Amino acid sequence: MEISQTFYPPRSAGLLVHALLALVSAGGGGFLFWAAMQQEGVNFILLLLAALGVLSLLPLAAYRWYALRGASYRVGRDGLRINWGLRAEDIPLDDIDWLRSAQDFGSRLKLPALRAPGALIGSLVIPDLGRVEFLASDPGRLLLLATRKKVFAISPEDPSAFARAFQEAIEMGSLTPLTARSTLPAAYLQEVWSDRFARALMLSGLVLGVLFLVAVSLAAAGLGPVSIGFDPSGQPLEAVNPERLLLLPVLGLMVYSADLIGGLFLYRREDGPLPAYLLWGSSPLTTILLSIAVLFSL
């Protein structure tokens, strides 16, 4: 037997579903923004809010796609290692009590309410089992692995092969057992937040973005029609309702959100957090440039 074997959850359907969801969210949000540009007054505001609501699904779909794409279960003589996005679990073999098929528990095993193809994620307290954490993609291939603290529900693409590899690892014994380790997304966010420079960049982008939105909202209430751009010849575009100015701070907050999420992924790079710093630092700069654009429109 190899020192370790890596198994993957079924991914094709889940990757396709979440990629389509991300595309629908981006396309639907873009269409609603375009529709908002064709409206005035209350209809403009409502369509703008609807666009933001649809776009809010994009980060969730993108993260679940990313998590499923890199998900794996590695089993060997040193123990079991589970990776699922920002979630990671290292379990020494000595900490594992048993491995059983979910079918052994029949209807007693409840599944998370909010689930989708490729994303059977969540934590439930189930009678006779205690707390069960789901890090799986397919309810039809679930295996339950009990440790001293909780039960993990996983779904390797070939459950039988995983069970055989696990049994062989148990029989061979552990020479250098893994150190028990649990990495949670919240712990990672706390690590980033403890970086003073990163925290300053993220807070400055957020504070400037919110202040920009408040200032434009107050200013638009007392303005008449304004021009919010220039044609190719450099002449101001036709004046429009002042509520259209809200598009600029909303655009700034969208850029901030994208930079915040992108920076969180770049912060993990082995070559250091500089790319994350540059991305987070671009958000305040974007807000300043958009503020200058608003001043030229007044």
Q: What is the pLDDT along the chain (298 residues), one digit of tens a residue?
A: 446 899 999 999 999 999 999 999 999 988 998 888 777 777 888 888 898 899 889 989 999 999 999 999 999 888 899 999 888 999 998 889 999 998 888 777 888 887 888 899 988 888 888 899 999 999 989 999 999 889 999 999 999 999 999 998 888 876 777 888 888 887 788 889 999 999 999 999 999 999 988 888 887 766 666 666 565 666 556 666 667 777 888 888 888 988 998 888 888 777 788 999 999 999 999 999 888 877 766 6
Phi then psi for 39, rounded to 5 degrees?
-115, 170
Task: Tally Cβ neighbours within 10 Å of residue 294.
Answer: 18
Query: What's the whole-model pTM score?
Result: 0.79
**Residues 213/250, Cβ–Cβ less than 8 Å:** yes
The span from the CA of 40 to the CA of 37, in Å, is: 8
CA-nearest of 154, 113, 151 to 137 is 154
Rounded to the nearest 5°, which phi and psi values hold at 261? Answer: -70, -45
Q: Which single residue is written with the structure tokens 């509520």?
A: 243
Q: What pLDDT does residue 240 have?
A: 61
Burial 86-109 (b: 16+ CB within 10 A, else e): bbbbbbbbebbeebeebeebeeeb
Instruction: Assign 234 to helix, strand or coil.
Output: coil
Q: Would you give the end-to-end CA distance of the chain in angstroms?
A: 73
d(CA 161, CA 169): 12
Residue 196 pLDDT: 93
Could you tell me where the beta strands, DSSP code E, fall in the chain? 4-7, 72-76, 79-84, 87-91, 96-101, 120-126, 130-136, 143-147, 151-154, 181-183
In degrees, rounded to 5, the angle at the alpha carbon of residue 24 between the alpha carbons of residues 21 and 26 is 110
pLDDT of 221: 66
Is 157:7 a contact under the CB 8 Å cutoff?
Answer: yes
Is 7 in a helix, a strand, or coil? strand
Report whether 297 contacts 240 (CB < 8 A): no
Residue pair 197/106 in contact (Cβ under 8 Å)? The answer is no
* Residue 213 near residue 230, CB atoms below 8 Å: no
Length of the chain: 298
Strand (E) positions, 34-160? Answer: 72-76, 79-84, 87-91, 96-101, 120-126, 130-136, 143-147, 151-154
